[in-house]
Amino acid sequence: MSEIISRDQLLEHWLGHRRVTRRTIEAFPDDNSFSTYSIGGMRTFATLVNEFLSMSVPTLVGIVSEEWPMERKEAPTTRAGALERWDADTKQIEALWPQISEGRFQETATAFGQWTMPVWGLLWYIIDNEIHHRGQGFVYLRALGVEPPQFPDRS
């Protein structure tokens, strides 16, 4: 059997997306629009980032330990506060990733007692959800007159 994507490639793919999201947080203006601006009644980018933070490490912890403690934190109110949590989480992701056991990606798990799917599906849901809502952050930036980061640049 030839693999589609390796474990190392998937981690690097995810971290690349996280770097784009980090630059999106940084791109918000020096006013408080990061935590106050939205369009059409949607959530602020600070609240969306809080959702990313609430999903990534807790889900990885669950995948590794099979315990799913729900973690609810207040949304960051500043870019600096968000970036601090972001960087701490990136380190945790890098530490947790090698602890995912061989074969675990194809096992079925129920995350936080609610979402039952293969482990690969849980991981993709986190990544896809971040891409989806970060795209919305790009629109907020454009509407604020700010050039968003380059989507293809994952460096």
Sites of contact with a second copy (CB under 8 A): 1-7, 9-10, 13, 17, 39-42, 102-103, 105-106, 118, 120-121, 124-125, 128-129, 131-136, 138-145, 151-152
Query: Three-state DSSP class for 74?
Result: coil
Which CB, 6 or 74, lies closer to a second copy?
A: 6
Which CB, 81 or 144, lies closer to a second copy?
A: 144
CA angle 6, 111, 43 (to 5 degrees): 95
Q: Quote the least distance from Cβ 94 to a second copy, whole Å.
A: 17
Q: Which residues make Cβ contacts (< 8 Å) with residue 145, sequence separation at least 6? A: none
HSE-CB at 3 with a 13 A cutoff on CA atoms is: 9
Which CB, 66 or 84, lies closer to a second copy?
A: 66
Q: Quote the least distance from Cβ 81 to a second copy, whole Å.
A: 24
What are the structure tokens assigned to 106, written together?
A: 């194809």
| Of 115, 50, 58, the residue nearest 77 (C-alpha) | 50
Q: Quote the least distance from Cβ 107 to a second copy, whole Å.
A: 10
Q: Quote the least distance from Cβ 84 to a second copy, whole Å.
A: 25
